[in-house]
């Protein structure tokens, strides 16, 4: 949660960053974007390492790296060294993706198939909680201690989480009764059609999630004439419902569908695709808010679940590699979607761009229809 807050918090103080460092909006946005890009690139290598080491120890090392990145970020920001600050965010991105992948690996290993989806969903709900924390409290931290203080503030909070995690996680650092995976086993994971299917579903879900998060505020301001502060407050409902929906996805899959993952993922895209595609047809603000809440709920219904889904498609010894592969592909969607959407909005406007985003959701429906079920679910 605290590292997710660290990831997003520069967005909450963008005007201060821009004024203090003398950079453009695009450059200021890079402080957030570079962490998504780093995580997308670093995820798969970290997963390979996690399958060969102790995930519990890796979490501790990554939290330490995050604290270093936060402290170095404070010094770089205070000195006005923009590119050095970007470098510290790269380090922070590596720390974040290690904690994310290792956390899912440990949680997924600690629960049986009947509760795994729910447990992983609860863990992934830390993402939107952290985003909300960073967005809400970043300006307060900046008011009290200056905007550079937002970088160490949240990485230091991670030490509190580590203190609680360490005694509670004894004995969960690595899969039991499994050998260190070979290069051939790794190759089977990254060439497995089932893993790729879930990976692309993750890519599409994250692309829709970041598209709406990034461009709905501008649409509400530019097209509906709402004040920027009001539009930001309204759009905050979109990620906020993820706290409920990411937990609900696993719970529904485990309880209502006896561990089957495909029906929940299919439902998520079936509902979200038309809501996003037809969003610009709505002009009445209460209806716009309702659409944001529903779209946010259903898009995120599958975001937590796919991480439990993908690790159940492979052997326990390479589960962390499968999770890391999904993280890498999913975050690539998160990184690319806002950029591509910006170019499309400039070229064809908001209605067509939202319509194309709905078509992306339609691809998710098609893919989810043919997605495989884990062997354990098929055997029930």
pLDDT in tens, 72-101: 999 999 999 999 999 999 999 999 999 988
Q: Minimal CA–CA distance to 131: which of 40, 240, 209?
A: 240
Q: What are phi and psi of 125, to 5 degrees?
A: -65, -15
Query: 188-380 has which fold?
Result: Growth Hormone; Chain: A; (1.20.1250)
380 — pLDDT class (breaks 50, 70, 90): very low
* Strand ranges inside 124-216, DSSP E: none
- CATH 1.20.1250.20 region(s) of the chain? 1-172, 188-380
Report, as an integer, the average pLDDT of 299-318.
86
Q: Is a pLDDT exceeding 60 seen at residue 106?
A: yes
Report, as an integer, the average pLDDT of 216-226.
77
Quote the radius of gyration of the chain (alpha carbons, Å): 20
Distance of CA 306 to the CA centre of its chain: 12
173 — pLDDT class (breaks 50, 70, 90): low
174 — pLDDT class (breaks 50, 70, 90): low
Q: Is a pLDDT exceeding 70 seen at residue 140?
A: yes
Query: 1-172 has which fold?
Result: Growth Hormone; Chain: A; (1.20.1250)
Cα–Cα distance for residue pair 248/210, rounded to 1 Å: 20
Cα–Cα distance for residue pair 13/147, rounded to 1 Å: 7
| pLDDT digit string, tens, across residues 256-301 | 888 889 999 999 999 999 999 998 898 888 888 888 889 889 998 8
* Percent above pLDDT 90 for the chain: 28
235 — pLDDT class (breaks 50, 70, 90): low
């Amino acid at each position: 949660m605290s590292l997710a807050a660290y990831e997003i918090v520069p967005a909450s103080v963008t005007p201060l960053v821009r004024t203090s460092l003398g950079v453009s909006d695009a450059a200021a946005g890079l402080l957030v974007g570079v962490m998504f890009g780093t995580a997308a690139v670093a995820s798969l290598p970290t997963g390979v390492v996690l399958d060969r080491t102790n995930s519990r120890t890796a979490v501790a090392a990554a939290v330490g790296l995050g604290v270093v990145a936060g402290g170095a970020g404070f010094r770089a920001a205070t000195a006005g060294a923009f590119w050095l600050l970007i470098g510290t965010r790269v380090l922070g991105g590596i720390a974040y993706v290690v904690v994310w992948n290792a956390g899912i690996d440990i949680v997924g290993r600690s629960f049986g198939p009947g509760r795994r989806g729910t447990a992983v969903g609860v863990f992934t709900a830390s993402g939107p909680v952290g985003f909300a924390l960073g967005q809400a409290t970043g300006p307060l931290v900046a008011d009290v201690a200056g905007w550079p203080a937002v970088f160490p503030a949240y990485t230091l909070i991670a030490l509190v989480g580590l203190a609680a995690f360490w005694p509670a996680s004894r004995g969960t650092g690595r899969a039991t009764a499994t050998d260190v995976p070979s290069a051939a086993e790794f190759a089977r994971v990254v060439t497995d059609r089932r893993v790729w299917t879930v990976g692309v579903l993750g890519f599409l879900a994250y692309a829709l999630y970041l598209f709406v998060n990034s461009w709905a505020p501008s649409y509400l301001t530019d097209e509906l004439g709402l004040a920027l502060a009001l539009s930001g407050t309204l759009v905050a409902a979109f990620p906020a419902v993820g706290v409920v929906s990411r937990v609900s996805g696993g719970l529904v899959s485990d309880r209502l569908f006896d561990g089957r993952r495909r029906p929940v993922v299919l439902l998520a895209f079936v509902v979200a695709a038309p809501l996003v595609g037809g969003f610009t047809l709505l002009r009445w603000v209460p209806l716009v808010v309702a659409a944001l809440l529903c779209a946010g709920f259903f898009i995120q219904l599958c975001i937590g679940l796919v991480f439990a889904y993908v690790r159940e498609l492979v052997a326990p010894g390479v589960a962390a590699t499968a999770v890391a592969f999904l993280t890498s592909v999913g975050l690539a969607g998160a990184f690319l979607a806002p950029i591509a959407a910006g170019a499309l909005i400039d070229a064809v406007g908001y209605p067509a761009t939202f319509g194309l985003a709905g078509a992306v959701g339609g691809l998710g429906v098609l893919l989810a229809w043919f997605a495989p079920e884990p062997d354990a679910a098929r055997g029930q």
